[in-house]
Amino acid sequence: MKIMVIGSSGQLGADIVEALPRAGFQALPVTGRQELDITNTVAFASFLDQQRPDAVINTAAFHNVDLCEREFDSAYRVNTIAVRGLAVECQKRGILLFQIGTDYVMDGPVDSKPLPETAPVHPKSIYALTRFGGDCMTLTHAPAVGYVVRTCGLFGMAGCKLKGGLNFVDTMITVARAGKPMRVVADQIVAPTPTDELAQQLILMIQRRPGPGLYHAVSHGQCSWHEFACAALTLAGIDHPIAPVSSGEFAAPAHRPGYSVLDNAVLRHAGIDIMTDWRTGLQRYIGKKYPPKR
């Protein structure tokens, strides 16, 4: 099978492209807009006809949460309208479509339990609203081939372009090593998820074909961003204080969910949930990228 990966230079995309050949699949990486502008449905359809992939994994999105509040037209065009085009064209050709979604569409009270796929959504930012639009477009316009896979707090070796090639873990370690004061929010509860593990989960879904629809795929367990940061420094062997603060102290333009821990209920019921505890993924990541000095 040939698997097209849109956004192949990003954290998740890079790990998917690396893992596909090991699973016996051919990877068709699509790095960015210069290679393929997904907002151009005609160009996307032509690309499908030329390359003839068996499945498409879309990791691309307008990810800058705060910028979405100002550039809402662009956010809507990329996160919602473009996804409609992907869904329509994949449905026409019988090509599997895996649309990567976000936990930001959920927002429960801090004392919540992990939220299954049946939980109501509460998008409270332009980013969350437009990403939820992408979920809806996939499920509506690709009913026979469309998979929406929501995830949370990704961190991977490729890093995040928006953060200068760093992800949250990298940023915490870099700042701590520089000896700078650190403040991290303690009132946002998440399930940080390593991209190498999510890549394996997506590949298993392609292999097993559990059926189109909505899936959650995150690490097990939960923590605040402050707890996550402290765990990262501990595993990296760095002794540096991190002050816990509230979300309000940062006064970010876009709302962040207070509780967006997802429950992999559908994967679990299908018997294919291979995600592990967030601490396991973090330990593996730290050991690989920040091994102890000899």
**pLDDT value, residue 73:** 97
- Domain extent, residue 8, equals 2-158+193-219+260-276
238 belongs to a structural domain: no
Q: Residue 148 domain-assigned? A: yes
Q: Is the pLDDT of residue 162 over 70?
A: no
Q: How far apart are CA 294 and CA 277, in angstroms?
A: 28
Q: Quick check: is 60 in a domain?
A: yes
Q: Answer whether residue 134 shows pLDDT above 80.
A: yes
177 falls within a domain: no
Give the DSSP letter of residue 70: T
List the catalytic residues: 127
Average pLDDT for the chain: 95
Residues 6 and 14: their CA atoms lie apart, in Å, by: 10
Is residue 149 domain-resident?
Answer: yes
pLDDT at 293 over 80: no
pLDDT digits (tens, 9 = 90+) for 9-23: 999 999 999 999 999
* Alpha carbon of residue 183 to chain centroid: 24
- Residue 137 tokens, joined: 């477009």
pLDDT in tens, 35-53: 899 999 999 999 999 999 9
pLDDT digits (tens, 9 = 90+) for 75-133: 999 999 999 999 999 999 999 999 999 999 999 877 789 999 999 999 999 999 999 99
Of 9, 65, 1, residue with least CA distance to 36: 9
As given in the structure block, the two tokens for residue 236 are 């990296």
pLDDT in the model for residue 163: 60
Question: Can you give the pLDDT at residue 161?
Answer: 66
Percent of the chain with pLDDT over 90: 91
pLDDT digits (tens, 9 = 90+) for 222-240: 999 999 999 999 999 999 9
Exposure string of 186-215, with b = 16+ CB inside 10 Å and e = fewer, is bbbbbbbbbbbbbbbbbbbbbeeebebebb
* Rounded-to-integer distance, Cα 257 and Cα 107, Å: 5
Q: Is residue 293 part of a domain?
A: no
Predicted local distance difference test score (pLDDT) of residue 225: 98
Rounded Cα distance between 10 and 8, Å, is 6
Report if residue 283 sits inside a domain: no
**Banded model confidence at residue 244, pLDDT cuts 50, 70, 90:** very high
- Which CATH number fits the domain that encloses residue 68? 3.40.50.720
- 157: tokens are 């070796």
* Mean pLDDT, rounded, for 211-215: 98
Q: Is 99 helix (H, G, I), strand (E, B) or coil?
A: strand
Let me know: does 271 contact 200? Beta carbons within 8 Å: no
Residue 43 maps to a domain = yes
Q: What is the number of domains present in the chain?
A: 1
pLDDT of residue 180: 97
Between CA 8 and CA 236 the distance in angstroms is 28
pTM greater than 0.85 (yes/no): yes
Percent of the chain with pLDDT over 70: 98
Inform me whether the pLDDT recorded for 206 exceeds 80: yes
Q: Which of the four pLDDT bands, split at 50, 70 and 90, describes residue 294? A: low
Which conformational region is residue 159 in: left (phi greater than 0), alpha (psi within -120 to 50 degrees), or beta? left
